[in-house]
């Protein structure tokens, strides 16, 4: 089980690699989308090479287990839970299980409801375990529709397959870059609200290149793939050729009064693997989704991997702490390379800063929306080592961000997916920018961190603490500037116009 979890967290399956290679080939290298995809490709190769998490958000571990008659499910559950705790201790999973009432992180990914384990019996003599690690950013972009309904840009969605097509397109458009596009969707037509979401997530266990045996659903899958990629949401919502790498649809019977369409959105870091186990010894007898005897094909040639961030010569270097005049000179679309000190802060830190002074001076600072994977390491100067450090979804901090920027003199907030109108106004008022880093590029960004200079608020747990990081040439794109411009708003509006043409 530890091996399954480790491999799932660190090495993308071949079908996802192939889809991402196709996306990379389709995007011109010197565009924002092309640069983002090159970082993602580097990240995939780096993660596999060092057995580090592909993304710092290792998600909600969800196990689908098939057992022969007579297998002891109580014991199996205990073993899976023990393996989850061990993989967390080894830094292959980030501690992600939080008490919903107190906010306390259990530290080992165990708690009520985590991990998710579903058992089923089958006639086989061995045990099958499939695992998916689906992170919070993409989970938050899931959508459920009750038909008939009215959809922005697409008009009425009726209780027909045409209505289903519209709902899926709407979900992809709504997600924009927040779920770390290009993503894949698992869809359920029918069921009730609970079984619909479950069945939608189960579709993500299908390979991206399989064929739906139901010709009617296969036709909708093909139509959605073609049309969603016309939206030009692109990698990370920066605009571009590829917005979706997979669409997998299943159907359940429903009550006559209900017609739900449930959409489970997964990001490009589509971590899904499985194993067959000898039911007596527990040995892995066979891997699912990958051939253990065939080495994974690297995303990039070694020279491209060694090259690091693909520069165009137009990048702007910033040294933190950053002055207001340097920030006011930036505009949407600029690519910046940050060096110096930055601090992390996500949900708990933002809530804290609304009521308390910051533990360190934030004037001129870069506040990074990131919940890194950090392990204790006696060989490191500060005693800590960051093993994964990509951005988290920023929109969650929308109610607080403008106030925090103004109160404490923050000059740049960095995360992914963009922020809303209140923050955009705050950036203009206070002289600050929003920087979009490439979501999921946890290994790539961990290599931009030279050292952990300190940590505050560790009582919030490692993902939520405020880490003080020394970084060098940390790349990100200005997607909201101090002049009222937002790339996110522009891409959403432009892709919305394309959606109008797909009303059918």
Binding mask 290-329 vs ligand SF4 (x if CB under 6 A, - otherwise)? Answer: ----------------------------------------
Q: Does 439 bind ligand SF4 (CB under 6 A)?
A: yes
Rank residues 39 and 217 by Cβ distance to ligand SF4 and give the closer one.
39
Q: Does 440 bind ligand SF4 (CB under 6 A)?
A: yes
The single residue among 269, 455, 478, 502 that binds ligand SF4, judged by CB under 6 A, is 269
What is the total count of residues that contact ligand SF4 (CB under 6 A)?
14
CA angle in degrees (0–180, nearest 5) for 474-51-134: 80
Cβ-in-10-Å burial (0-12, 13-18, 19+) of 293 comes to: exposed
Output the smallest distance, CB 439 to ligand SF4, in A. 4
Q: Does 449 bind ligand SF4 (CB under 6 A)?
A: no
CA neighbours within 13 Å on the CB side: how many for 53?
A: 32
Q: Which long-range contacts (CB under 8 A, 24 or more apart) does 3-6 make?
A: 3/275, 3/284, 4/83, 4/129, 4/131, 4/273, 4/274, 4/275, 4/284, 5/61, 5/83, 5/84, 5/87, 5/92, 5/93, 5/131, 6/51, 6/87, 6/90, 6/92
Binding mask 144-183 vs ligand SF4 (x if CB under 6 A, - otherwise)? Answer: -----------------------------------xx---
Q: Does 135 bind ligand SF4 (CB under 6 A)?
A: yes
Q: Does 55 bind ligand SF4 (CB under 6 A)?
A: yes
Rank residues 341 and 447 by Cβ distance to ligand SF4 and give the closer one.
447
Output the smallest distance, CB 496 to ligand SF4, in A. 22
Rank residues 180 and 402 by Cβ distance to ligand SF4 and give the closer one.
180
Neighbours of 335 (CB within 10 A): 17
Minimal CA–CA distance to 155: which of 139, 137, 169? 169
The rounded radius of gyration (Å) of the Cα atoms in the chain is: 22
Q: Does 138 bind ligand SF4 (CB under 6 A)?
A: yes
Q: Does 397 bind ligand SF4 (CB under 6 A)?
A: no
Q: Does 267 bind ligand SF4 (CB under 6 A)?
A: yes
- Window of 134-142, 217-225, 354-362, 450-458 that interacts with ligand SF4 by CB under 6 A: 134-142
Minimal CA–CA distance to 391: which of 204, 135, 9? 135
Instruction: Collapse the DSSP code of 53 into the 3-class scheme (helix H, G, I; strand E, B; otherwise coil) and give the result.
Output: coil
Summarize the chain as % helix, strand, coil (round to 5). 35, 25, 40
Minimal CA–CA distance to 446: which of 394, 402, 385? 385
Cβ-in-10-Å burial (0-12, 13-18, 19+) of 381 comes to: exposed
Q: Does 137 bind ligand SF4 (CB under 6 A)?
A: yes
Output the smallest distance, CB 264 to ligand SF4, in A. 12
Q: Does 364 bind ligand SF4 (CB under 6 A)?
A: no
The single residue among 11, 27, 57, 64 that binds ligand SF4, judged by CB under 6 A, is 57
Beta strand pairing call for 412-415 and 366-368: parallel
- Window of 132-140, 343-351, 377-385, 451-459 that interacts with ligand SF4 by CB under 6 A: 132-140
339 phi, psi to nearest 5 deg: -130, 155
Rank residues 135 and 163 by Cβ distance to ligand SF4 and give the closer one.
135
- Window of 10-18, 136-144, 238-246, 372-380 that interacts with ligand SF4 by CB under 6 A: 136-144
Cis peptide before 321 (omega within 30 of 0): yes
Rank residues 57 and 397 by Cβ distance to ligand SF4 and give the closer one.
57
Minimal CA–CA distance to 185: which of 224, 219, 158? 224
The single residue among 13, 52, 53, 59 that binds ligand SF4, judged by CB under 6 A, is 59
Q: Does 23 bind ligand SF4 (CB under 6 A)?
A: no
Rank residues 183 and 274 by Cβ distance to ligand SF4 and give the closer one.
183
- Rounded to the nearest angstrom, the gap between the alpha carbon of residue 349 and the centroid of all alpha carbons in its chain is 20
Contact positions vs ligand SF4 (CB under 6 A)? 55, 57, 59, 135-138, 179-180, 267, 269, 390, 439-440
């Amino acid at each position: 089980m530890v091996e399954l979890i480790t491999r799932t967290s660190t090495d993308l399956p071949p079908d996802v690699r192939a889809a991402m290679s196709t996306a990379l080939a389709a995007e011109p290298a010197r565009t924002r989308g092309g640069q983002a995809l090159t970082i993602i490709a580097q990240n995939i190769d780096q993660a596999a090479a060092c057995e580090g998490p592909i993304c710092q958000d290792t998600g909600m571990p969800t196990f689908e287990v098939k057992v022969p008659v007579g297998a002891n499910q109580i014991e199996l559950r205990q073993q899976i839970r023990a393996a989850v705790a061990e993989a967390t201790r080894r830094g292959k999973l980030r501690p992600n299980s939080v008490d919903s009432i107190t906010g306390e992180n259990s530290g080992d990914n165990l708690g009520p409801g985590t991990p998710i384990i579903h058992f089923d019996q089958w006639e086989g003599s061995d045990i099958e375990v499939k695992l998916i690690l689906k992170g919070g950013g993409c989970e938050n972009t899931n959508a459920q529709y009750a038909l008939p309904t009215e959809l922005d840009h697409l008009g009425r969605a009726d209780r027909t397959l045409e209505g289903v097509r519209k709902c899926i397109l709407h979900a992809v458009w709504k997600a924009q870059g927040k779920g770390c596009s290009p993503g894949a969707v698992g869809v359920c037509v029918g069921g009730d609200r609970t079984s619909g979401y479950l069945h939608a997530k189960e579709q993500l266990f299908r390979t991206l290149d399989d064929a739906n045996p139901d010709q009617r659903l296969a036709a909708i899958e093909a139509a959605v793939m073609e049309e969603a990629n016309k939206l030009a949401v692109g990698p990370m919502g920066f605009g571009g050729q590829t917005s979706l790498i997979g669409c997998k649809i299943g159907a359940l019977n429903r009550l006559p009064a209900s017609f739900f369409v449930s959409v489970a959105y997964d990001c490009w870091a589509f971590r899904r693997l499985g194993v067959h186990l000898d039911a007596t010894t527990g040995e892995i007898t066979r891997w699912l989704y990958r051939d253990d005897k065939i080495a994974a094909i690297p995303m990039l040639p070694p020279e491209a991997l060694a090259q690091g961030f693909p520069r165009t010569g137009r990048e702007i270097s910033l040294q933190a702490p950053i002055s207001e005049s340097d920030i006011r000179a930036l505009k949407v679309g600029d690519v910046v390379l940050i060096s110096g000190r930055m601090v992390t802060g996500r949900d708990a830190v933002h809530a804290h800063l609304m009521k308390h002074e910051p533990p360190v001076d934030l004037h001129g600072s870069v506040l990074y929306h990131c919940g890194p994977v950090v392990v204790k390491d006696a060989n490191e100067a500060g005693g800590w080592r960051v093993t994964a450090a990509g951005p988290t979804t920023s929109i969650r901090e929308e109610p607080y961000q403008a106030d925090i920027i103004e109160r404490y003199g923050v000059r740049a907030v960095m995360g992914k997916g963009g922020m809303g109108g209140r923050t955009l106004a705050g950036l203009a008022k206070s002289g600050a920018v929003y920087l979009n880093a490439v979501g999921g590029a946890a290994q790539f960004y961990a290599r931009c961190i030279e050292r952990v200079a300190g940590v505050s608020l560790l009582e919030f747990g490692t993902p939520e603490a405020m880490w003080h990081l020394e970084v060098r040439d940390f790349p990100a794109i200005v997607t909201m500037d101090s002049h009222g411009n937002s790339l996110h708003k522009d891409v959403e509006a432009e892709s919305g116009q394309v959606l109008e043409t797909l009303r059918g």
